[in-house]
Structure 1
């Protein structure tokens, strides 16, 4: 059903700025709640403008929370910019429990199932992967050697564009004496696509090779956290088993990895093959044993098949990256409604990126199920921000140039919109990195705002599907968990259809409500979880994997 598209929006009744939903010219007359005023300059879509006169140091509210203070006095119709607004957010303290919430109607999904891989510990995977992991960066080359030996032969090479014909065309024109301008004008739109071979093991979705630059030479805290992170991937429901390559002398010892696996799954029974190069001797001995073990493990993994599972077996990671001024009013609220739906059905959701929860700490801590959980959340937030400030930064420095250009002027504005992904349900658990976070209900997971570090951590914490909102566009994916990309605006969706799966700009355009979008997204999630649809990041082989060094990363 077509709905009227608005020109501007007040997100919360207490807000003293409005959001432009389309490009508004200078002198555009705003008629709002009995007030009439003209814009003092053009205001681009996604940006904000004032409703009333505001004095220097006056507080600015969006989403009903403090998001900044004015650097100078402004009149009604003034565009909000980095020059006239600075970051500010409310302090927070232990408050009363505010656990009342309105559960959405989930009757249309109550009996729905998805086709997943059932594991012996009761979890259900949305995919079935084999992992090859180095315990230390010294083994990265050997992991890549295994990849070269196995991936194409077994049919797991990602279908991709082959641009060698374009290079041949450029070489020929260059050798014929073409100028720089002529070379730049050549049409290179005829790229071929490499076709993937048929898989030898059809029930195994992929062999994933996870390289990293950690495991030794850093702090013991980082190497221990790495072992915890890798244990999260090995025990993940989307993983059938793993081959581990270790040098032998590094901080990240195989024994620590085994202990971390046992913490997460005391009855762990997946095939796990660990090889230490210093024990095996020659590279040839190491590689031949690893190849045989991996091949044998794949034959075991191939015996597993998809079976029906109820939707409470879904654990959704909530992520955003390349955010814009529409993120908090389209895609993020749609995920928030979906989160509430899944929680109502007994499922799990994970809200992470703690630097992007700055300014909404009071609301989230009040929603924690008990004071102990609230205290843990507040402690993690304060410790993280204090560490950032000690190193010359702080949460206020989180917004990127792209965020600012598209309307997210302060971290508090960005955070207030980002938190909408978590819906309105009570916070059932607060989890520190790199622990497991698949408790039923809404989990808060301490991660940086860095897209890939956060997504990497959410998957280690148990997310078997990740929903990733973006306003500017990003190709981010994950090796073992499907990452579904949702655009906050139609323009980006139409511009980048090769990396974005769903469009939530329909909400801004007046084509559907937040509730309708959430239902549409959940239908897509069920299809992805069942292996019926592949998100763009999966098709492209966008296997981003970056462990978090527990220093400052915003």
Structure 2
């Protein structure tokens, strides 16, 4: 008889996340026949790390519990030691008790104020970067915006302005062929205005074609688009075509660089930090390591007066009750529920379903249902009270921990957060997402040490060592201190690699006509 497979005794083999759970999580690749004391029986199949194992028999139709919460129902009888995944776990009834505002907990007191070195703006915001932006009203002006940025780079005069980080063309695939009065138009309108006002831009040049639905005069409105006045606009048709627009755009940007360069980094309280929190390429470790660590770092920042933004509405589905209970008022909690109901209708009328998540990569990493993924994703929000709920790209005016409605598609969700005012992004990933989001620096947090070792040139922090004994609190402090350093100018890995030129993705709704 062959001996039972051996374990790496230097590392824990499995973890049980809550006393009520009927599954445990593999922390190593486990072979069939491996004996686990938590089960008292050999594994019936090989189980990859990050995946679930039944620690007791589960009858068909019974609820499967992880984090002490429902993640689905058994679609087949499950024996102790069975691998629990797509072959025997599916969605089931998951009615939630929203218990509005029933779990409000004040955050612990902090030891004095902290500061970062940022760029003060006339409207009271503070930037963590100082870019010039070329914002486009329509796809038809996107190439010209890129041509202008390339011409500036070729001419080399940005070297004369050491306090300007660069020129960023913000191009997209919409702005025309759309209704001029529906929800899709309003969402794109908010997004473009929000980017123009983001504090990480020291100036904005708005370039349109001239005949598009998203008209430049409408975007500008009757007021100033930026509080500092470092804003210009033009249309290609009125300026005289491509060549003349490029020449004029380069000249205008040089004038704007003179203004932007006068603003230098100064000490700013952490109440001026607004961090968009994302997870992408999630795996079975996400809800164990990086997401809880980011949640604890979020609590630290909120305790210092800062703001953190949780988003991705389709990826809190089934876990929204954990947020409604922390809402500062029942009315704020009800906004979360209203957004969930909107999403149920939105997906249904477009032939989709809320359980379209997780992705193939998520499933390979051990996540099975959207309920399971959402429970891990919500951990990014820590424990702070939920102070407000916003629509996509809506200006965030309340400090603290807030929620902004968005799709779960990461570039789109981050686009909304930056339009809402985020001057820093924190992004957890288990499979290894690579991206950046100019003008806002993005900190990448790896959920597991294996991926971190393989992709360390793209990852800023390894949270996989939490499995080896580093505490959530210690990792949160490491992340929090990195927030301050990056906000003060330290480059992230994605910035060093040059990411950020292709990740502006406005949420497109409605008919393309």
- TMscore range, shorter length: over 0.9
Which of 174, 185, 208 is the matching residue for 1:214? 174
Question: How big is each residue's C-alpha offset from its partner over 1:97-127, in whole Å with a ceiling of 9 and x where there is no partner?
Answer: 22432624643xx332110001112111111
Question: How big is each residue's C-alpha offset from its partner over 1:376-421, in whole Å with a ceiling of 9 and x where there is no partner?
Answer: 1111111112221232211201111110011011111111101100
Residues 128-207 of structure 1 aligned to structure 2 (within 5 Å): 128-154=130-156, 199-207=159-167
Q: Does residue 63 in structure 1 map to residue 25 in structure 2?
A: no
Aligned to 1:113: 115
For the residues of structure 2 that align with 1:23 and 1:106, how far apart are their CA atoms?
41
Question: How big is each residue's C-alpha offset from its partner over 1:219-265, in whole Å with a ceiling of 9 and x where there is no partner?
Answer: 33323322211111111111111111112221111233224976xx7
For the residues of structure 2 that align with 1:453 and 1:230, how far apart are their CA atoms?
13
For the residues of structure 2 that align with 1:285 and 1:410, how far apart are their CA atoms?
54
Q: Does residue 345 in structure 1 map to residue 351 in structure 2?
A: no
TM-score, reference length from structure 2:
0.93
Aligned to 2:22: 16
Considering only aligned residues, what root-mean-square deviation do their CA atoms show, in Å? 2.0
In the TM superposition, residue 49 of structure 1 has moved relative to its aligned partner by 0.8
Q: Does residue 126 in structure 1 map to residue 128 in structure 2?
A: yes
- Structure 2 contact 100–324 (Cα < 8 Å) conserved: no
Change (3 A) 1:421 1:131: same
Residue correspondences, number:
499
What secondary structure is seen at the aligned counterpart in 1 of 2:37?
A: strand
Residues 50-449 of structure 1 aligned to structure 2 (within 5 Å): 50-88=54-92, 90-92=94-96, 94-101=98-105, 103-104=107-108, 106-107=110-111, 110-154=112-156, 199-220=159-180, 221=182, 222-259=184-221, 268-449=227-408
Which of 478, 485, 490 is the matching residue for 1:520? 478
Aligned to 1:529: 487
For the residues of structure 2 that align with 1:104 and 1:78, how far apart are their CA atoms?
42
Aligned to 1:539: 496
Change (3 A) 1:44 1:144: same
Question: How big is each residue's C-alpha offset from its partner over 1:350-384, in whole Å with a ceiling of 9 and x where there is no partner?
Answer: 00011110111112112111122112111111111
In the TM superposition, residue 423 of structure 1 has moved relative to its aligned partner by 0.5
- Structure 1 contact 429–444 (Cα < 8 Å) conserved: yes
Q: Which runs of 5+ in 1 are unaligned?
A: 157-198
Q: Does residue 43 in structure 1 map to residue 1 in structure 2?
A: no
Change (3 A) 1:4 1:257: farther
What secondary structure is seen at the aligned counterpart in 1 of 2:83?
A: coil
Deviating beyond 4 angstroms after TM superposition, the runs of 4 or more aligned structure 1 residues are none
For the residues of structure 1 that align with 2:447 and 2:340, how far apart are their CA atoms?
27
Aligned to 2:439: 480
Aligned to 2:6: none
Aligned to 2:5: none
In the TM superposition, residue 93 of structure 1 has moved relative to its aligned partner by 5.7
- Structure 2 contact 164–257 (Cα < 8 Å) conserved: yes
Change (3 A) 1:332 1:146: same
In the TM superposition, residue 434 of structure 1 has moved relative to its aligned partner by 1.9
In the TM superposition, residue 218 of structure 1 has moved relative to its aligned partner by 2.1
Change (3 A) 1:346 1:47: same
Aligned to 2:4: none
For the residues of structure 2 that align with 1:92 and 1:342, how far apart are their CA atoms?
29
Question: How big is each residue's C-alpha offset from its partner over 1:106-152, in whole Å with a ceiling of 9 and x where there is no partner?
Answer: 43xx3321100011121111111110011111111211211221124
What secondary structure is seen at the aligned counterpart in 1 of 2:84?
A: coil
Which of 458, 467, 476 is the matching residue for 1:508? 467
Change (3 A) 1:6 1:155: farther
For the residues of structure 1 that align with 2:510 and 2:355, how far apart are their CA atoms?
17
Change (3 A) 1:151 1:439: farther
For the residues of structure 2 that align with 1:201 and 1:51, how far apart are their CA atoms?
62
For the residues of structure 2 that align with 1:337 and 1:56, how far apart are their CA atoms?
37
- Structure 1 contact 113–309 (Cα < 8 Å) conserved: yes
- Structure 2 contact 205–253 (Cα < 8 Å) conserved: yes
For the residues of structure 2 that align with 1:48 and 1:313, how far apart are their CA atoms?
41
- Structure 1 contact 408–414 (Cα < 8 Å) conserved: yes
TM-score, reference length from structure 1:
0.86
In the TM superposition, residue 300 of structure 1 has moved relative to its aligned partner by 0.7
For the residues of structure 1 that align with 2:221 and 2:68, how far apart are their CA atoms?
45
